[in-house]
Amino acid sequence: MPFSDYKTALVTGASSGIGAAVVERLCKEGLKVHALARSADKLAELAARTGCIPHAIDVSDLAGITRLTQEVAFDVLVNNAGVDRPGSILKADAEGIDLLVDVNLRAVLHLCRLVVPGMAARDRGHVVNISSIAAAYNFGGNSTYHATKAAVSMLSRQLRIDVFGKRVRVTEICPGRVATDIFAHVHGDSEETHKRFVEGYELPQAEDIANAIAFAIAAPIAVNVGHMEITPTLQVPGGLSTARPDAPQA
């Protein structure tokens, strides 16, 4: 369905990175975009630049997102908010697990519960879920992150079944490494972090992900772009490790 058939959008995790880029792109397409994030200051700057409607709400605040979705009928929902606490399950703590489940999964489920029935009733809508290549591939540590993103991936497939027969489309975006400030949030905002994850690499930018989302939304109503895996050309996911029983484990 072309952008002209949609009027409103909700983007979570909108204060920076991919979320901010998506807000900016959707605003340029003429949608009334509601930008949701915790940082009121960054949202105010984004609103001044794009004309979006800011909502300083934690995505895990069920009462807050419930009020918002009751006030506005959203045609486009972009579930972008996400957090990470690197580490294997052997070193995980209860706080980290609860945080990732609350933000990466529970909030997505609740927003879909609150928004998708209205889309189905209007026979119009598009849900975009930002998961990760971690939803499909295994790499060191990040066990809880992998688990939550895999759940979002399966939810994205299931939503298509739930809305079967309605013109409600669902797109899962699976980014690999993207040049955003997520690494600073996870590993600390330092020159070392920038050098480790960004500097010297040829990486997709946040705007590239926003453009991919816009492509999926702008497709004709008969077309559902269900899954897009977006990685750097010079990044390959996957791998195989074999350990000797007597070898020290990392």
pLDDT at 185: 58
- Comparing 237 with 125, which gets the higher pLDDT? 125
Residue 174 lies in a domain: yes
pLDDT at 34: 98
Closest CA to 162 of 226, 116, 131, 121: 116
Q: Average pLDDT in the 98-123 region?
A: 98
pLDDT at 180: 80
Q: Which domain holds residue 12?
A: 3-230
pLDDT digits (tens, 9 = 90+) for 30-89: 999 999 999 999 999 999 999 999 999 999 999 999 999 999 999 999 999 999 988 899
SS3 content of the chain, % helix, strand, coil (to 5): 45, 15, 40
Beta-carbon count within 10 A of 170 CB: 26
Please report the sign of the dihedral spanned by the C-alpha atoms of residue 186, residue 189, residue 190, residue 196: positive
pLDDT at 198: 75
pLDDT at 179: 87
Residue 236 lies in a domain: no
pLDDT digits (tens, 9 = 90+) for 168-211: 999 999 999 998 876 655 655 667 766 776 778 889 999 999 99
Residue 238 lies in a domain: no
Q: Average pLDDT in the 82-97 region?
A: 92
- Comparing 191 with 245, which gets the higher pLDDT? 245
Residue 240 lies in a domain: no
- Sequence-distant (6+) residues with CB within 8 A of 88 are 140, 141, 143
Residue 239 lies in a domain: no
Q: Average pLDDT in the 109-118 region?
A: 98
The reply to whether 6 belongs to the active site is no
Q: If you average pLDDT over every residue of the chain, what do you get?
A: 92
Identify the CATH number of the domain in which residue 198 sits.
Answer: 3.40.50.720
Which band of pLDDT confidence, cut at 50, 70 and 90, is reported for residue 22? very high
Q: How far apart are CA 135 and CA 146, in angstroms?
A: 6
Residue 247 lies in a domain: no
Are the C-beta atoms of residues 247 and 237 closer than 8 Å to each other? no
Number of domains in the chain: 1
- Sequence-distant (6+) residues with CB within 8 A of 7 are 31, 32, 75
Q: How far apart are CA 61 and CA 154, in angstroms?
A: 23
Residue 250 lies in a domain: no
Instruction: Catalytic residue, from 6, 137, 145, 201: name it.
Output: 145
Q: Average pLDDT in the 205-222 region?
A: 97
